[in-house]
Amino acid sequence: MSTRDLILGRIRRAVDGPDTEVPRDYLREHGARTPEQSADLLAAHLTEYRATVHRADEDDLPPLLARLLARRGSATVLVPPDLPPHWLADADVTVVHDLAASTPLELDGVDSVVTGCALAVAETGTLVLDAGPEQGRRRITLIPDHHVCVVRIPDRLVDSIPQALDRLDPTRPLTWISGPSATSDIELDRVEGVHGPRTLEVVLLGGSAQ
């Protein structure tokens, strides 16, 4: 008998009793918010995780990104293949593309990465990347130490986890990011930055731009 049949046989002999209905009476979102309030909540939660949050509309975005990269002293910036070119039009940087042949070691030398995201979750302060438009492969938002993520408000913003799962495609690789890399393994003191980007900057694009 194969191990598979052995295990399945053990399970069939083991289980008995009535089935359980799953109650779905939990909330789809916690509280009612206007899109502006949702954006504020996302910003507050990201800030609490020690990410830096900025606001911009389409016209402000290129100068803002240029300022963020200059302040960081970034000379090279990794971008997904389909990042709108005008986003980095004002930035004085060398743009690096994530080619199939580039090794993780090569990407390790890049200063910053700029991407969009599939969606953001206000209640938990989470960005979700699904390797879709403006996002690129999973590794590009992992290796550089500085990640700038642009969230289109309001169309990429949801309030809650249940709403987020409704909109995501499970067959795509999904990366959920809630603040920069962090550890609490030493005396439960939170330290930002271990292996992933130690600095996360989030730009809320559109909505109540300043």
Q: Using CB atoms within 10 A of its CB, is residue 60 exposed (0-12), middle (13-18) or buried (19+)?
A: middle
Q: Which of the 8 DSSP states describes residue 123? A: T
Nearer to another protein, 123 or 204 (CB): 123
Other beta carbons less than 10 A from residue 165's beta carbon: 13
**What is the closest distance, in whole angstroms, from the C-beta atom of residue 209 to another protein in the complex?**
26
Q: Which of 10, 86, 97, 167 binds another protein (CB under 8 A)?
A: 10
**What is the closest distance, in whole angstroms, from the C-beta atom of residue 97 to another protein in the complex?**
14
Of 170-209, which residues contact another protein (CB under 8 A)? 170-189, 191, 193-197
Nearer to another protein, 2 or 210 (CB): 2
Q: Which of 30, 86, 97, 167 binds another protein (CB under 8 A)?
A: 30
Q: What DSSP string describes 48-73?
A: HTT-EEEEE-TTTHHHHHHHHHHHHT
- H or E, element range at 87: none
Pick the closest to residue 112 from 83, 141, 135, 152 (CA basis). 141
Of 86-145, which residues contact another protein (CB under 8 A)? 100, 103-105, 108, 121, 123-126, 131, 137-139, 142
Give the range of 9-17, 57-65, 71-79, 81-89 binding another protein by CB under 8 A.
9-17
Q: Which of 33, 35, 47, 49 binds another protein (CB under 8 A)?
A: 49
**What is the closest distance, in whole angstroms, from the C-beta atom of residue 89 to another protein in the complex?**
28
Phi, psi of 97 (to 5 degrees): -100, 145
**67 binds another protein per the rule CB under 8 A:** no
Tracing tokens 């700038």 back to the chain, one arrives at 148
Cβ neighbors of 78 (< 8 A, separation 6 or more) are 96, 97, 98, 107, 110, 112, 113, 114, 140, 143, 144
**What is the closest distance, in whole angstroms, from the C-beta atom of residue 159 to another protein in the complex?**
12
Site size for another protein (CB under 8 A): 72
**What is the closest distance, in whole angstroms, from the C-beta atom of residue 202 to another protein in the complex?**
14
